[in-house]
């Protein structure tokens, strides 16, 4: 009889388990990254957008009194920039959370596929070894 080959799982399977899934939270490193995420978490809220809108509205009467040019400048430079900044950040946080969920799902799917592939490799290796044994036995007769 021939010697059966031992199945060795691909090293990427173990490495992938050690790495885990990449998400937005794992991307910031060091103090600057930590600070940027904290500021984004505070400024990127609808409550902050409401506060900025209130702050912008304080200067609206002066802009109206100034005429068309100051009013347009107020809309573009004060209101839109202050309020939309926070709203866009909220949207980005929502999109990032959805992206993290997709990344995790894809990671889990890839893990399952790697395990299935490893099982297939193990079965093919076993099948090849058994086929060789059968051929060896048939040739003896």
Tokens of 72: 């347009």
Tally Cβ neighbours within 10 Å of residue 115.
Answer: 12
For residues 91-96, give the mean pLDDT.
87
Query: In the chain, what is the straight-line distance between the N-terminal and C-terminal CA atoms, in Å?
Result: 13
Tally Cβ neighbours within 10 Å of residue 23.
Answer: 15
Q: Which of 71, 50, 52 is nearest to 60 (CA)?
A: 71
pLDDT value for 43: 87
For residues 72-83, give the mean pLDDT.
89
Q: Which of 1, 48, 14, 5 is nearest to 118 (CA)?
A: 14
Residue 128 and residue 80: Cα distance in Å, rounded? 68
pLDDT classification of 85: cutoffs 50, 70, 90: confident
Instruction: Give me the helix-helix angle, 81-140 and 11-19, nearest 10°.
Output: 160
CA angle, corner 24, sides to 23 and 29, nearest 5? 110
pLDDT value for 68: 94
Average pLDDT, the chain: 84
pLDDT classification of 58: cutoffs 50, 70, 90: very high
pLDDT classification of 81: cutoffs 50, 70, 90: confident
Residue 1 in this model has a pLDDT that exceeds 60: no
């Amino acid at each position: 009889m021939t010697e059966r080959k031992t199945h060795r799982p691909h090293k990427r399977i173990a490495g992938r388990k050690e790495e885990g899934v990449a998400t937005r939270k794992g991307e910031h490193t060091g103090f600057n990254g930590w600070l940027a995420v904290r500021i984004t978490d505070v400024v990127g809220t609808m409550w902050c957008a409401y506060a900025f809108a209130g702050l912008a509205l304080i200067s609206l009467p002066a802009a109206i009194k100034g005429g068309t040019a100051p009013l347009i400048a107020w809309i573009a430079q004060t209101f839109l920039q202050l309020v939309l900044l926070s709203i866009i950040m909220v949207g980005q946080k929502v999109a990032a959370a959805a992206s993290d969920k997709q990344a995790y799902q894809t990671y889990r799917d890839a893990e399952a596929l790697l395990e299935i592939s490893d099982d297939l490799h193990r079965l093919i290796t076993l099948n090849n070894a058994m086929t060789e044994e059968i051929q060896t036995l048939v040739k003896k007769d």
